[in-house]
Structure 1
């Protein structure tokens, strides 16, 4: 077992504070900028490498990002009937797009990120996250409002819709409401899959439960998947998948899964099965009390 990375000379603690708890790293602030939307901080830490915070909240880091991006992407892209057209809302660090584009069946990927400065700083300081996505001819970046994009796009225009947003505050607040989810359902082609990060069942318990409940109401079928992102509040995280025509996201197609699993650090079909089954009892009771059994 390797000893924990020691702080370097000049490092200080960089913390996210939430409800009386601090989640921090010994790190150096590399660059900090204020965009029209938020405060963007780039840090460098001995433990996790370079990382990104938005308004003082941890978003990602070089040695943490696979814990987040792989669980968001692969259950959806390994299960949708087709994956030719993919929409990513948010995701300015590039990690979600990178994982999507590992699937050869993706022909066109739109990424709509509201804050162009996040993209600029991520490409400069965290180039490994986006990797080759930024230059992939299938990748199309729009700096703009993802909520407006979803509202104005044509019916049945995407096979997969992924929401890679921050906590439900500031520019990401509108990514957690009924109107937005209804538009996302409208965008899906038959056999399509929707997925979103759905917060920590510990640190954001009610937001998490409300998100799963609302997605079940809008799509008909939705299930949370549980994993861990150690740098996030509580370390315990969730992603929720939804379909109008049955929970196809639970069963990855063998050929697609085999094509990407060897390059994954976290996700595998076996891991996915366990992650969908790891519903804590308090979440199961809360959902059953309000919604009854999922149709």
Structure 2
């Protein structure tokens, strides 16, 4: 191995690291803090890194970055929107960085998208520092932003008012804690039209093992049909991540409709129908056993 090359002029100076600490492990980037603010809900940090570009942390936990976000947003959105019976009306709970809304609005069949984000400062800072994430979504006439409580929105919205419901929340703590419980999931099921699909990020099976398993179990109880899908978001704890999809009337989320998939797949960096098939089959043995044990219990 030859001598190590000196850092580029635009590299972060030695020792300038931003870390998330979880369970005795640090997940960090060489980065500088661009802006940090505290809202009524959480501490919001914008960083700039040489490796992943600008990024967002909430209460010290990694949320997204310019060169990582597609690893997360494409898997959350496209299995649901390529499979629901209709996609005219979509609800996104959370998602203040704009990436989920952007991917949804790439589907021409979407006529109306409600995004309910509890923290308006997340939206403000994301639009200022991470404009590529939301892209044209912020000005799309189909897009309707409400700064408010997504849990309350789900509880009060009319029955069968959405074709797809997506939950793009942070870890189950602070303002996102209520996004991982039976009452909230029951309301999300109530909101779905016939043939509708629900999806949520469901944490890392490594770094949040029990939360992940409990989430899948609970969604199967509430919706009757639910399956986790596995991929990777390298900046997140362990790098190994999951999304769980649910339907009351059968696992339609496993089979993308060819016409819808063809409309979006060429613009995707991660998701494709082939990738999705493998991701649904990549259930680790310990999760498969835990879910089988739960199903066998009276």
Q: Is the 8 A contact 1:8 1:46 kept in 2?
A: no
Aligned to 1:272, the other structure's residue is in SS state helix
Q: Is the 8 A contact 2:12 2:50 kept in 1?
A: yes
CA spacing shift, 1:294–1:64, aligned 2, 3 Å: farther
Q: Indicate which of 129, 132, 137 corresponds to 1:128.
A: 132
Aligned to 1:134, the other structure's residue is in SS state helix
Tell me if 1:264 matches 2:268: yes
Match of 1:116 in 2: 120
CA spacing shift, 1:2–1:190, aligned 2, 3 Å: farther
Distance 2:113 2:290 in 1: 36
Instruction: Summarize deviations over 1:135-187 as a string: whole Å, max 9, x none.
Output: 00000000000000000000000000000000000000000000000000000
Distance 1:9 1:202 in 2: 30
Aligned to 1:43, the other structure's residue is in SS state strand
Count of residues paired in the alignment: 293
Aligned to 2:296, the other structure's residue is in SS state coil
CA spacing shift, 1:102–1:40, aligned 2, 3 Å: same
Distance 2:297 2:135 in 1: 39
TM-score, normalisation: structure 2: 0.96
CA spacing shift, 1:4–1:103, aligned 2, 3 Å: farther
Which blocks of at least 5 consecutive residues in structure 1 are unaligned?
none
Q: Is the 8 A contact 1:89 1:113 kept in 2?
A: yes
Which blocks of at least 5 consecutive residues in structure 2 are unaligned?
none
Distance 1:224 1:75 in 2: 11
Tell me if 1:93 matches 2:103: no
Q: CA RMSD in A?
A: 2.1
Distance 1:159 1:152 in 2: 17
Q: Is the 8 A contact 2:12 2:32 kept in 1?
A: no
CA spacing shift, 1:267–1:173, aligned 2, 3 Å: same
Match of 1:2 in 2: 5
Instruction: Summarize deviations over 1:57-93 as a string: whole Å, max 9, x none.
Output: 0000000000000000000000000000000000000
Distance 2:225 2:203 in 1: 19
Structure 1 residue ranges (4+ consecutive) displaced by more than 6 angstroms after TM superposition: 1-5
Q: 1:7: how far off?
A: 3.4
Q: Is the 8 A contact 1:4 1:47 kept in 2?
A: no
Distance 2:297 2:192 in 1: 20
Distance 1:4 1:150 in 2: 49
Instruction: Summarize deviations over 1:191-233 as a string: whole Å, max 9, x none.
Output: 0000000000000000000000000000000000000000000
Distance 1:123 1:264 in 2: 22
Q: 1:9: how far off?
A: 6.7
Distance 1:124 1:2 in 2: 34
Distance 1:57 1:138 in 2: 31
Instruction: Summarize deviations over 1:240-282 as a string: whole Å, max 9, x none.
Output: 0000000000000000000000000000000000000000000
Q: Is the 8 A contact 2:86 2:195 kept in 1?
A: yes
Q: Is the 8 A contact 2:204 2:241 kept in 1?
A: yes
